[in-house]
Amino acid sequence: MDKIKTMIISGGTHGNELTGVQLIKKWTTNPELCKKRASDINLDIVLVNPSAVAVVRRYVDHDLNRSFADYMLNGAPRSLCVEWNRAQELNQMYGPKGDSTKTDLIIDIHNTESNMGVCLILSEKNAFTMRASAEIANEFSDVHIYLQPEKRTTSPYFGTIARADICVEVGPQSHGTLRASLFEKTEQVVYRYLELASEWNAGLLQQKAKKKVTVFTQHKDIDYPRDRNGNISAMIHPNLQNADYAELKPQDPLFRTFDGKDILFENDYSVWPLFINEAAYYEKKIAMSTTLKSVEEW
Amino acid sequence: MDKIKTMIISGGTHGNELTGVQLIKKWTTNPELCKKRASDINLDIVLVNPSAVAVVRRYVDHDLNRSFADYMLNGAPRSLCVEWNRAQELNQMYGPKGDSTKTDLIIDIHNTESNMGVCLILSEKNAFTMRASAEIANEFSDVHIYLQPEKRTTSPYFGTIARADICVEVGPQSHGTLRASLFEKTEQVVYRYLELASEWNAGLLQQKAKKKVTVFTQHKDIDYPRDRNGNISAMIHPNLQNADYAELKPQDPLFRTFDGKDILFENDYSVWPLFINEAAYYEKKIAMSTTLKSVEEW
C-alpha cells in the first residue's frame, strides 16, 4: 500500500460494544475531530450494524463480523438475515472486497469483557499497520499487538473488505456498558492512527527507526470441557481469570469443574491466552484463544 | 416466622446470570447437596425463567423479576408476555403471594457486573433473614448487606411471593459468563443459609449473640445525564468504576461527559453507591443505586 487515500473509522459492528458505538456517534456529530488529524485522507465514519445497535445486542440474526467471507458476499442469494444483507450493502458501498476495493484502510473498534486493555489486532503483516501499531504500542501503556493471520478471501471480518485493516479491541468492559477510561484511551489511539496514516502518506513514518514490539500470534482456540449434551462442564480456572497475555505453562490449571476439580493444561509447550472468558465466545465454543509470544522489530 | 417449613433455592430468574443457572443445574442433578444441610425443611430447587435461560438473555419479553407485584399476578389477564405468564404460574405453584403462601423462604441467586462481591439483599427487616445474614456477613469475606425495604404487595420481585426472602447478588461477573471463584463462594453462602435455617428451626440461631454488621440501606437511584433525545450524555466517572460500597462525598466527581468534562455529585451529604455501571440497569435508567450506611446489631 503506497498511500492511504480512503479510510474508514468504524464501530458498532457488534451492537452491544458501546465504546465504538459512542465514539462513532461523537465523530458523526463532529467529524472534524478525526478529519483534522488526516486532512489528506478521504475519511468515512461508519456505524456498521445499526440494527444491532438499536437493540443493544451483538447481532440480530448472525454475527456481522463473521459475514464478510467471499462466499457470503458473492455466492449467497439475498436472504432474510439482517446481517448478511448488511454485509452485502457495506461491501457494495466500501468494497468490493479484493484488489478493486474502494477502501484502503479500516480501523474497526470492538470491546471485550476479557482483561485485554487495548489490543491491536492485525489480520496480516501489512507494512503500514505494522509500523503504525508498533509506534502506538510504544507510546501508550497497556497496548498489545495480536497478529491473527488469515487468508483474506475467506476471512469473515468487516475490515477485510479494505486493502488493510486494524481491529482495536478494548477491555475489560461488560457488553452494553461504557467505561470512561477505556473510551478516552480508545479515542486517543484512533487519533494517533489517523496522524500516523497521514505521516505515512508524507513518507515520514517510513523514515522513523523501527521499534521493538511484543507480538502475540494466533495459535489455537481452546473450548470449554463439555458433557455428552454439549453443555459446558467446567469454568475458566480462577488463576486464569483476567490473566490475558500471561504465560500458561504445561500442567498449569486451566479449568475448574462444577465439583471443584482442576483440569490441567496438557501440552508440551507454553502458550499465552487471550479473550479469556469472553461472553460472546461461549456460543462460538472458545474459552480462550491461545497465542505464541515473540519480540520483533516492526 | 416461627419455623421455616418450606423453602425455595432458585436461580435463572434472569437467563444470562449464570452463577444461579449453573448452581440450580448442579443441585437439580444432586439435590442431596442442599437437602442434607436442612433435612427438616421441605426444599424445592427452582430454575425460575427457563425460557430466558434457553436464549441466555435477561428476559424474553419483560423482566421476570419485575413481574410479581400484586396487580400483575392478580389483575392482569393472561397475556402473550412470556414472563407475566410464568410469574402467574410460579405464584400458583409456590404462592399465592400474601399470608396464605405455601412458601416460607426464597433464596434467589443473581449476578451483577458491578463490583459488589456477595451482596445479601433483604426486602424487609425479617427476624430470620437478619440473623442469618448477619452470621454470614461475619463468616465470609467480601459479603455485604443491602436493605431495600419495599411494600411487599407492590414489590415486583420473585422472592416476595414467599413469607421472607433473600436475594444473593454476586459480582463482578459479565452476564453470559461464569467466574469459578464466585460460583464456589455463592455455593458456600447458600449452604450456610440452609444450615442456619435448620438452626433457626431448632431454636439454636436465636440463642447466639447478635452480630455487629454494616448495613447499606436503599436511598435513591441516580440516572445517567441524558440529552434531549433521552440518550445518555456521560459515563460513570473513572474514580467511581468498581467503587461500590465506597463513600461518595458531596462534590466528588460522578460522571464524565463524552467531551471529557467532569460532572460532580451535587448533594448535602455522603451516600454509598451500589450497582455502579450495571448493564441491565441502563434501560431502567439507573447509573447506580445510592445507599446510606449504618452499623447495627442484627
**Three-state helix/strand/coil letters over B183-228:** HHHHHHHHHHHHHHHHHHHCCCHHHCCCCEEEEEEEEEEECCCECC
The neighbour count for residue A212, using CB atoms within 10 Å, is 11
How would you label B251-282 residue by residue, b for 16+ Cβ within 10 Å and e otherwise? ebbbbbebeeeebebebeeebbbbbbbbbbbb
- The CA distance from B249 to A250, in Å, is 49
Domain boundary among B159, B177, B210: B210
pLDDT of residue B76: 63
Question: Using the 8-state DSSP alphabet, how is residue B259 labeled?
Answer: T
Whats the size of chain B, residue-wise? 298
Residue ranges in chain A whose pLDDT is less than 70: 75-78
CA A66 to chain centre: 12
Q: What confidence category does residue B78 fall into, taking pLDDT thresholds of 50, 70 and 90?
A: low
The reply to whether residue B184 touches residue A236, judged by beta carbons under 8 angstroms, is no
Question: Do both A162 and A253 map to the same domain?
Answer: no
φ, ψ (nearest 5 deg) of residue A194: -65, -45
Spell out the residues 6+ positions from residue B54 whose beta carbon is closer than 8 angstroms to its own: B15
Question: Do both A186 and A226 map to the same domain?
Answer: no
Question: Do both A13 and A158 map to the same domain?
Answer: yes
Question: Do both B157 and B30 map to the same domain?
Answer: yes
Question: Contacts of residue B181 in chain A, CB cutoff 8 Å?
Answer: 238, 241
Q: Average pLDDT over chain A, rounded to whole?
A: 96
On the 0-12 / 13-18 / 19+ scale of CB atoms within 10 A, A85 is middle
pLDDT of residue A76: 63
- The CA distance from A31 to A39, in Å, is 11
- The CA distance from A60 to A73, in Å, is 18
The reply to whether residue A277 touches residue B237, judged by beta carbons under 8 angstroms, is no
Question: Do both B285 and B202 map to the same domain?
Answer: no
Please indicate, yes or no, if residue A68 is contained in any of the structural domains. Answer: yes
pLDDT of residue A77: 63
Please indicate, yes or no, if residue B1 is contained in any of the structural domains. Answer: no
Please indicate, yes or no, if residue B126 is contained in any of the structural domains. Answer: yes
Domain boundary among B210, B226, B241: B210
Q: Take residue B223 and report the three cell numbers written for it.
A: 440516572
Question: Do both B197 and B155 map to the same domain?
Answer: yes
- The CA distance from B59 to A109, in Å, is 28
> Over 90: is that where the pLDDT of B2 sits?
no
pLDDT in tens, A272-284: 999 999 999 999 9
Planar angle of CA B289, B291, B294, nearest 5 degrees:
160
pLDDT in tens, B205-247: 999 999 999 999 999 999 999 999 999 999 999 999 999 999 9
Question: Do both B125 and B223 map to the same domain?
Answer: no
Question: Using the 8-state DSSP alphabet, how is residue A146 labeled?
Answer: E
pLDDT of residue B80: 77
* Residue B98 φ/ψ region, left for φ over 0, alpha for ψ in the -120 to 50 degree band, beta for the rest: left
The neighbour count for residue A285, using CB atoms within 10 Å, is 13
Measured CA to CA in angstroms, residue A217 lies from A114, A126, A274, A284, B67 at distances of 17, 14, 10, 20, 49
- Across the interface, of B183, B232, B279, the residue whose CB is closest to A174 is B279
How many helices and strands, by DSSP H and E, does chain B display?
Answer: 7, 12
Q: What confidence category does residue B1 fall into, taking pLDDT thresholds of 50, 70 and 90?
A: confident
Question: Do both B58 and B204 map to the same domain?
Answer: yes
pLDDT of residue B77: 63
Nearest CA in chain A to B22: A258
How would you classify the pairing of strands B117-122 and B164-171? antiparallel
For B189, what's the count of Cα atoms within 13 Å in the CB-facing half-sphere? 33
The reply to whether residue B241 touches residue A181, judged by beta carbons under 8 angstroms, is yes
Please indicate, yes or no, if residue A166 is contained in any of the structural domains. Answer: yes
Please indicate, yes or no, if residue A1 is contained in any of the structural domains. Answer: no
Question: Do both B152 and B36 map to the same domain?
Answer: yes
The reply to whether residue B279 touches residue A181, judged by beta carbons under 8 angstroms, is no
Q: Average pLDDT over chain B, rounded to whole?
A: 96
A22 in reach of chain B (CB within 8 A): yes
Please indicate, yes or no, if residue A153 is contained in any of the structural domains. Answer: yes
pLDDT in tens, B137-166: 999 999 999 999 989 999 999 999 999 999
Question: Do both B200 and B151 map to the same domain?
Answer: yes
Best residue of A227, A258, A281, A286 to probe chain B, by most B CBs closer than 10 Å: A258
pLDDT of residue A72: 86
User: Strands (DSSP E) along A53-163, which ranges?
Assistant: 105-111, 117-122, 143-147
Please indicate, yes or no, if residue A205 is contained in any of the structural domains. Answer: yes
The neighbour count for residue B204, using CB atoms within 10 Å, is 11
| Dihedral Cα A149, A154, A155, A161, nearest 10 deg | 110
B236 in reach of chain A (CB within 8 A): yes
- Residue B105 identity (one-letter amino acid): L
A179 in reach of chain B (CB within 8 A): yes
Grid look-up 428451626 returns B201
Residues of the domain holding B253: 215-297
Question: Using the 8-state DSSP alphabet, how is residue A268 labeled?
Answer: S
B241 in reach of chain A (CB within 8 A): yes
Question: Contacts of residue B238 in chain A, CB cutoff 8 Å?
Answer: 179-181
Q: Which residues face A106 on adjacent strands? A: A8, A165
ipTM for this model: 0.94
A184 in reach of chain B (CB within 8 A): yes
Spell out the residues 6+ positions from residue A142 whose beta carbon is closer than 8 angstroms to its own: A117, A118
CA B264 to chain centre: 29
B28 in reach of chain A (CB within 8 A): no
- Residue A140 identity (one-letter amino acid): F
3-state DSSP of B96-129: CCCCCCCCCEEEEEEECCCCCEEEEEECCCCHHH
Question: Do both A175 and A286 map to the same domain?
Answer: no
- The CATH number given to whatever domain includes residue B263 is 2.20.25.160
Planar angle of CA B155, B51, B98, nearest 5 degrees:
25
Domain boundary among A210, A233, A266: A210
The reply to whether residue A177 touches residue B278, judged by beta carbons under 8 angstroms, is yes
How would you classify the pairing of strands A288-297 and A212-222? antiparallel
CA proximity to B244, closest of B296, B283, B287, B186: B287
Best residue of B32, B59, B178 to probe chain A, by most A CBs closer than 10 Å: B178
Domain count, chain B: 2
Spell out the residues 6+ positions from residue B194 whose beta carbon is closer than 8 angstroms to its own: B7, B9, B34, B37, B38, B41, B43
Spell out the residues 6+ positions from residue B190 whose beta carbon is closer than 8 angstroms to its own: B9, B23, B34, B107, B109, B168
Question: Do both B116 and B135 map to the same domain?
Answer: yes
pLDDT of residue B268: 98
- Residue A123 identity (one-letter amino acid): S
- The CATH number given to whatever domain includes residue A23 is 3.40.630.10
User: Strands (DSSP E) along chain B, which ranges?
Assistant: 6-11, 42-47, 105-111, 117-122, 143-147, 164-171, 212-222, 234-236, 253-257, 262-264, 272-274, 288-297
How many helices and strands, by DSSP H and E, does chain A display?
Answer: 7, 12
Nearest CA in chain A to B173: A174
Please indicate, yes or no, if residue A254 is contained in any of the structural domains. Answer: yes
How would you label B123-156 residue by residue, b for 16+ Cβ within 10 Å and e otherwise? bbebebbbbbbbbbbeeeeebbbbbbeeebeebb
Give the sign of the dihedral formed by CA B141, CA B143, CA B145, CA B146.
Answer: positive
